[in-house]
């Protein structure tokens, strides 16, 4: 893409509102984005399981492991990679927390 | 260098191959499959693939390139005709003879057929070819009759109805899925299908079939005649255990194994639908035809082959999707213990638990994924729960976990 117009950062929520070990779905310009706080690091993914598009915020987060509620597919939230099965991955977005504690997401 | 031979083209053997390479096994792996396809997942055959909403590559066990990249030799469209355990050797239908250090049988099951029910308009649903053939006949306005209101019958009924096909399901029992899932589920399934125009004829049996100039004429036990264009026979399955039986392995409605997946023959293992495995938590032999269990058997056997032997104690998990409804089940639902309903049967959002000695032994849920996720964790740890607690929708299942109470500590457990 490379187009600067698409390289947009969106303020989505305050980092203080996303506890460690918690996840939350937010809407970014019509796209449902899953935010995950693991040990203080925030990650952003498309809020759909790559298997059959089930919303991941329905699932269960236990340490690094996110389990989709549909068919119990498991992902590592720190890498987005599938753990079971291993031959799949979450779609990740760039994500950062700015100086005033706001989580920013770039759909890129 | 050792060579492992895997027999079967489903997810079980594919998972063994994957597991072996992930754990660093660098010997030879040969995967022999009777179907001419790369190993694939079967759940979509009666759901998304039949409906035409997913394509074939999306439900392969591994992408095509994976096998070459990981030095796994595929021998597709080929059967194993003979197994000689004493010689550690199999003979293939292409005439080849293959020696093995370990053999893994994941030969699966085939659809059970009914005498007198065969022909150009009669279908089974087990393979890719079956699914593609049936899909070609699901044209709006046609009439499909399904013999058997099990999971295959119900799922195909949902897809067919969605394509505008008129569907009639004959189920000899009073309710579809009732014996497996209980009466509440059976009634809900009938109602859900009825709303989509699917007719269930429960307690009724089709006894004969004749071909007419334009279709099929079916005779029911009470003497009625039903005409249709296509017929699906969905009356269960038969384990593909003949190869093992002929080789002298212990077979009883499947290939018998211990809790490590080992058969009665040295270095021969059995996994997936064909395996009757001793399950420590069930205290006896269990055979299930669940996708998830097949994958887990496959992974487990890879570890056993590499010497990391631990008994297989995984809870069984399966799902069924019909229309926009989801049935999910975990653990034992074989009628053991006390039955407790949580949620609302009327609203079709409920979970049926089996409670044994104050422990959840199993559950099946209709559109309650959160109950499934919570129960999965609870069942993995020691817990005590009462029927009243389980039945109370305001009682959080996660409070049964250690360190319950604090949401935060629970999530970080």
Q: Return the number of other C-beta atoms located less than 10 Å from residue B348's C-beta.
A: 17
Q: How many residues are recorded in chain A?
A: 108
Q: Say if residue A55 is exposed, middle or buried (CB neighbours under 10 Å; 0-12, 13-18, 19+).
A: middle
pLDDT at A108: 82
Pairing assessment for the beta strands A82-84 and A74-76 based on DSSP bridges: antiparallel
Please give the residue range of the domain that contains residue A8: 4-106
Split into its structural domains, chain A has a count of 1
Instruction: Show the tokens assigned to B368.
Output: 């309650």
Dihedral angle over CA of B44, B47, B51, B52, nearest 10: -10
CATH number for the region B113-233 comes to 3.50.50.60
Q: Where are the beta strands (DSSP E) in chain A?
A: 9-14, 23-28, 31-38, 41-46, 60-62, 65-67, 74-76, 82-84, 92-97, 102-106
**Single pTM value for the model:** 0.91
Cross-chain Cβ contact A69/B319 below 8 Å:
no
Rounded-to-integer distance, Cα B413 and Cα B402, Å: 8
The kind and range of the H/E element at B239 are strand B237-239
Q: Residues B3-110+237-305: name the CATH superfamily.
A: FAD/NAD(P)-binding domain (3.50.50.60)
Each of the 413 residues of chain B gets a pLDDT tens digit; together they read 799 999 999 999 999 999 999 999 999 999 999 999 999 999 999 999 999 999 999 999 999 999 999 999 999 999 999 999 999 999 999 999 999 999 999 999 999 999 999 999 999 999 999 999 999 999 999 999 999 999 999 999 999 999 999 999 999 999 999 888 989 999 999 999 999 999 999 999 999 999 999 999 999 999 999 999 999 999 999 999 999 999 999 999 999 999 999 999 999 999 999 999 999 888 899 999 999 999 999 999 999 999 987 898 889 999 999 999 999 999 998 878 999 999 999 999 999 999 999 999 999 999 999 999 999 999 999 999 999 999 999 999 999 999 744 444 444 43
Residues of chain B with CATH 3.50.50.60: 3-110+237-305, 113-233
- Measure the CA–CA gap between B24 and B39, rounded to whole angstroms: 21
- Indicate if the alpha-carbon torsion angle B8, B9, B10, B13 is positive or negative: positive
Q: Give CA–CA dist B290/B193, Å, rounded.
A: 23
Chain center to CA of B201: 25
Beta pairing partners, B170: B147, B201
Question: Which residues in B lie closer than 8 A to residue A71 (C-beta atoms)?
Answer: 292, 319
Q: Which helix (H) or strand (E) holds B339?
A: strand B338-344
Please check whether residue B292 is in contact with residue B318, taking contact to mean a CB–CB distance below 8 angstroms.
yes
Interface subset of B 35-94, CB within 8 angstroms of A: 48, 62-63, 66
Instruction: Give the residue from A97, A99, A9, A84 showing the smallest Cα distance to B300.
Output: A84
What's the gap in Å between the CA of A40 and the closest CA on chain B?
12
Task: Write down the H helix ranges in B136-230.
Answer: 151-162, 178-181, 183-195
| Per-residue pLDDT at A6 | 54
Q: B398: which chain A residues are within 8 Å (Cβ-Cβ)?
A: none
Shortest Cα–Cα distance, B274 to chain A (Å): 22
- B369: alpha, beta or left? (left if phi > 0; alpha if psi -120 to 50): alpha
Q: How far is CA B169 from CA B53, B115, B319, in A?
A: 24, 19, 21
* Distance of residue A98 Cα from the nearest chain B Cα, in angstroms: 24
Contact between B82 and B88 under an 8 Å Cβ cutoff? The reply is no
* Spatial distance between the Cα atoms of B292 and A70, rounded to a whole number of angstroms: 12
Say yes or no: domain B324-411 is CATH 3.40.1350.10: no
Predicted-complex ipTM score: 0.79
Residue in A22, A62, A71 nearest the CB of B319: A71
Contact assessment for residue B38 and residue B123, using Cβ atoms and an 8 Å cutoff: no
| From B48, B62, B292, residue closest to A72, measured CB to CB | B292
User: Are the C-beta atoms of residues B33 and B8 closer than 8 Å to each other?
Assistant: yes
CB B271 within 8 A of CB B298: yes
A18 pLDDT exceeds 50? yes
Tokens of B208: 């004969």
Rounded to 10 deg, the angle between the B11-22 and B291-305 helix axes is: 40
Task: Give the one of B62, B373, B412 whose C-beta lies nearest to A69's C-beta.
Answer: B373
- Residue B87 phi/psi, 5-degree rounding, is -100, 0
Q: Concatenate the DSSP letters of all residues of B115-141 into one string.
A: TT--STTEE--SSHHHHHHHHTT--TT
CATH number of the domain within which A100 lies: 2.102.10.10
Per-residue tokens: B397: 């299942």
């Amino acid at each position: 893409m490379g187009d600067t117009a698409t390289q947009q950062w969106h303020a989505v929520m305050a980092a203080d509102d996303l506890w460690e070990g918690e996840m939350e779905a937010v809407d970014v310009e019509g796209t449902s984005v899953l935010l995950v706080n693991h040990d203080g690091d925030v990650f952003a993914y498309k809020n759909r399981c790559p298997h059959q598009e089930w919303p991941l915020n329905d699932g269960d987060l236990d340490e690094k492991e996110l389990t989709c509620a549909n068919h119990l597919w498991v992902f590592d939230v720190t890498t987005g990679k599938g753990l079971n099965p291993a031959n799949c991955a979450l779609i990740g977005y760039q994500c950062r927390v700015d100086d005033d504690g706001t989580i920013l997401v770039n759909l890129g | 260098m050792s060579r492992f031979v895997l027999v079967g083209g489903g997810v079980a053997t594919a998972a063994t191959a994957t597991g072996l390479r992930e754990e660093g096994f660098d010997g030879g792996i040969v995967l022999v499959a009777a179907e001419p396809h790369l190993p694939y997942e079967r759940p979509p055959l009666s759901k998304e693939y039949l409906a035409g909403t997913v394509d074939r590559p999306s439900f392969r066990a591994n992408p095509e390139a994976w096998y070459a990249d990981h030095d796994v030799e595929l021998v597709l469209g080929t059967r194993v005709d003979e197994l000689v355990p004493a010689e550690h050797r199999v003979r293939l239908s292409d005439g080849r003879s293959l020696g093995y250090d370990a053999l893994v049988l994941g030969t699966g099951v085939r659809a059970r057929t009914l005498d007198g029910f065969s022909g150009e308009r009669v279908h089974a649903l087990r393979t890719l070819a079956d699914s593609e053939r049936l899909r070609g006949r699901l044209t709006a306005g046609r009439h499909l009759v399904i013999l058997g209101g099990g999971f295959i019958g119900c799922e195909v009924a949902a897809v067919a109805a969605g394509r505008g096909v008129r569907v009639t399901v004959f189920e000899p029992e009073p309710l579809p899925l009732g014996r497996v899932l209980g009466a509440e589920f059976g009634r809900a399934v009938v109602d859900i299908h009825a709303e989509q125009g699917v007719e269930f004829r429960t307690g009724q049996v089709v006894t004969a079939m004749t071909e007419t100039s334009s279709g099929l004429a079916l005779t029911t036990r009470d003497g009625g005649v039903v005409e249709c264009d296509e017929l699906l026979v969905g009356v269960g399955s038969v384990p593909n255990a003949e190869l093992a039986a002929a080789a002298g392995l212990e077979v009883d409605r499947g290939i018998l194994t211990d809790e490590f997946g080992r058969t009665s023959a040295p270095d021969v293992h059995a996994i997936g639908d064909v395996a009757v495995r001793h399950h420590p938590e069930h205290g006896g032999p269990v055979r299930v035809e669940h996708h998830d269990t097949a994958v887990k058997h496959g992974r487990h056997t890879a570890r056993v082959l590499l010497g990391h032997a631990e008994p297989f104690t995984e809870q069984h998990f399966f799902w069924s999707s019909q229309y926009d409804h989801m049935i999910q089940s975990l653990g034992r639902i074989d009628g053991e213990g006390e039955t407790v309903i949580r949620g609302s049967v009327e609203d079709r959002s409920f979970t049926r638990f089996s409670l044994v000695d104050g422990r959840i032994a199993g559950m099946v849920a209709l559109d309650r994924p959160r109950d499934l996720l919570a129960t999965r964790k609870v069942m993995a740890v020691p817990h005590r729960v009462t029927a009243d607690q389980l039945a109370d929708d305001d009682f959080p299942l996660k409070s049964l976990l250690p360190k319950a109470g604090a949401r935060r500590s629970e999530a970080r457990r």
